[in-house]
Chains A and B, each alone.
Chain A
């Protein structure tokens, strides 16, 4: 605020300069006429002027000033222009569905102007006139960040956090620090899956076999446990975020690279249709775009199998969960854009997200009785490290409780991954609204099975305490007298994936929430 006033006085001084006046297109005068500032109007969001002055961009409340000059906006005809750019995984189905639902909820009618499959504008009107225009560009995550940094987009649609080069670019472009503050919101989840035609008899492969088959390092189905017939590969287009994610998370850890010879598709719909029509094809796609093909189950060598489902993606029990995120800039967005962002985090959006074929982050409960599979595995894996007494203690602690879908996972040590950071906020909000009042929440820490049981148990306890601390910080308004929050740790006692792979261990390092 101090800077603001200083700029004001400086601007008055500079008003005298005729050379500057020729360039400036707006003059903002305070209501009492005592202050004036001139500059080039960068934007007006219906509430605030953003003006480029010789001191850099300044934001001024429209209530307090009057505007003169050729650049002044018509206050009564203000239409909020919000541009969204980024990954086609969000721009094709999810964001249009959310804009439609947001409009319906706020009683706007929608007209969608379509330039191409990649470019659309949604005009939201009330009875009088158009109130907002959402411009949607469908491309890649990298394009989304580039547009955000160049201020050509107000909201980036992304599948990953910004890379180092993108953060550096944002700093030099003076569009702010991309990593500062909480800019990413996870809107929905999707899963990276390998698909085959319904007629393909092989239904389950390991992550390593999936990597080999899709990269072309396994050329025949017999190499991964099927018939002696060549594998026909269908992959997303080269620069797509989905293929990048697959290379980063699956191929690189397996030390494999993509071999030529695969069919690359610009649209995942075409990919899924081609795979569904060819018994010997395999494709890489997302759970939301499997079409008429069938996703392969993912098997671990120790007998665990995970499938990409609503429940497994929500709990991140499936190894290739893909968070779909909205990334916002440091500057202020128009009111309707902020309302839209809030709507995407509202429980009312959960149903819209599910109907559009994606996984929402609603907090749901499963009963202890439904965890039979996991218990059976825990018993079969028990050995010298995990004693019968450990299992009995765990069962006693969890028996009369239900597991929340909210699960916390760590990128290493005790740092939460992006989906889990979102989970903290979701659970904190639920605590603040009293959803768990008069209930008992147990944060149960688990570890992988690598190393000795003692340190693993300590690490699991430390993770559970980290989550408890973050939850309390994120929910300052929660009434902690009415809700019991406790931590416990069971170490490596209840694995949900095999410990012989990196991804299996990553899934096992977690904090679950059990409620009664």
Chain B
């Protein structure tokens, strides 16, 4: 027994010391291999003794009751949502749900929605492009709590925005092709989780300081997958362009059917291009 132990100690010593000793050379000594396997220790046998449950349950219930409104970070559970106006007619949103870490939350704004997982801290921050001047935002938490907040975004009148909500697990892509002289941003929100999930893509362009007139091409690309080849990929479009009526409609992108799984459906003419005029 002691010899085996000594070998192990030696092996450990060489193992640690050899790189230092080698000093650029390869270790010349190979550690000896143990010649016998270590015995499995015999574990003591436990037998469970039935204990009356109410004796323990009451104190546990007490503890649970005491901790029910405190997160693992020690903060209060009470969920809340704060919405502020950020620059470029964006909404700076903060959702607090400390007791629902990693749980999905659904954010709704102007008939559109996206889903996202709460971070470990239970505190979610994001920037959402406003889709109306009097913006109302709803957050639906996994426990069914609905949080509501609203704010006014006067700068919205200077923006043209086209938002696309993809429902389901296989979201497609909103593509904007703008000539260099025109500016615009694509904002992506949400994570595709499952069939109830949704992601939101918003193309936003400030029209008040365009220095040129032109057309921004908007097109769609959606993958044909086993889940959507029969029923189609659903999406919702909202188009908010100053001096145009606000337009909302649903799309079902059916594509060529299940024979085309793995391909993608590209649609150039489904979304009307955005025509911007110089100011």
* CB of B252 within 8 Å of the partner chain: yes
Q: Report chain A residues within 8 Å CB of B249.
A: 100, 109-112
Chain B residues numbered 238-259 whose CB sits less than 8 Å from any CB in chain A: 244-245, 247, 249-256
Interface of A is mostly: mixed
B272 near A114 with CB under 8 A, answer no
Whether A115 contacts B215 in the complex (CB less than 8 A), given A104-B245, A269-B273, comes out as no
A85 to B36, alpha carbons, bound, how many Å? 85
A114 near B251 with CB under 8 A, answer yes
Chain A residues numbered 269-302 whose CB sits less than 8 Å from any CB in chain B: 269, 272-273, 276, 291-292
Q: Report chain B residues within 8 Å CB of A276.
A: 179
A162 to B135, alpha carbons, bound, how many Å? 52
* CB of A93 within 8 Å of the partner chain: yes
A109 to B250, alpha carbons, bound, how many Å? 9
* CB of B17 within 8 Å of the partner chain: no
Whether A292 contacts B244 in the complex (CB less than 8 A), given A112-B252, A113-B252, A114-B254, comes out as no
Residue of A nearest to B178 (CB): A292
* CB of B217 within 8 Å of the partner chain: yes
Whether A92 contacts B269 in the complex (CB less than 8 A), given A114-B252, A292-B214, comes out as yes
Q: Report chain B residues within 8 Å CB of A341.
A: none
Per-residue interface assignment for chain A, residues 489 to 500, with 1 indicating a CB less than 8 Å from any chain B CB and 0 otherwise: 000000000000
When the two chains form the complex, which single residue of B244, B247, B251 contacts A111, counting CB atoms closer than 8 Å? B251
A97 near B272 with CB under 8 A, answer yes
* CB of A355 within 8 Å of the partner chain: yes
Distance in Å: Cβ of A372 to nearest Cβ of chain B: 26
When the two chains form the complex, which single residue of A110, A117, A273, A356 contacts B269, counting CB atoms closer than 8 Å? A117
Per-residue interface assignment for chain A, residues 444 to 464, with 1 indicating a CB less than 8 Å from any chain B CB and 0 otherwise: 000000000000000000000
Q: Report chain B residues within 8 Å CB of A355.
A: 244
A326 to B168, alpha carbons, bound, how many Å? 38
Distance in Å: Cβ of A464 to nearest Cβ of chain B: 39
A112 near B270 with CB under 8 A, answer yes
A115 near B254 with CB under 8 A, answer yes
A96 to B251, alpha carbons, bound, how many Å? 13
Of B250, B269, B275, most buried by chain A (CB within 10 Å of CB) is: B269
* CB of A357 within 8 Å of the partner chain: yes
Residue of B nearest to A351 (CB): B245
* CB of B125 within 8 Å of the partner chain: no
Q: Report chain B residues within 8 Å CB of A92.
A: 269
B215 near A292 with CB under 8 A, answer yes
Residue of A nearest to B245 (CB): A104
Residue of B nearest to A93 (CB): B272
A28 to B273, alpha carbons, bound, how many Å? 50
B215 near A117 with CB under 8 A, answer no
* CB of B278 within 8 Å of the partner chain: no
Whether A115 contacts B273 in the complex (CB less than 8 A), given A100-B247, A276-B179, A291-B215, comes out as no
* CB of B232 within 8 Å of the partner chain: yes
* CB of A116 within 8 Å of the partner chain: yes
B250 near A116 with CB under 8 A, answer no
B217 near A111 with CB under 8 A, answer no
Distance in Å: Cβ of A441 to nearest Cβ of chain B: 33
A356 near B270 with CB under 8 A, answer no
Instruction: Name B residues whose Cβ lies closer than 8 Å to a Cβ of A.
Output: 177, 179, 214-215, 217, 232, 244-245, 247, 249-256, 265, 267-270, 272-273, 275
8 further A-B pairs in the complex, CB-CB below 8 A; given A100-B247, A272-B215:
A97-B272, A111-B252, A112-B250, A112-B251, A116-B267, A269-B269, A291-B215, A355-B244
Instruction: Name A residues whose Cβ lies closer than 8 Å to a Cβ of B.
Output: 92-93, 96-97, 100, 104, 109-117, 120, 138, 267, 269, 272-273, 276, 291-292, 355-357
Q: List 8 A-B contacts (CB under 8 A).
A: A100-B247, A100-B249, A111-B251, A114-B251, A114-B254, A116-B256, A116-B267, A273-B177
The 9 A-B pairs of least Cβ separation, nearest first, read A111-B250, A113-B252, A92-B269, A110-B249, A292-B214, A291-B215, A117-B269, A114-B253, A292-B179
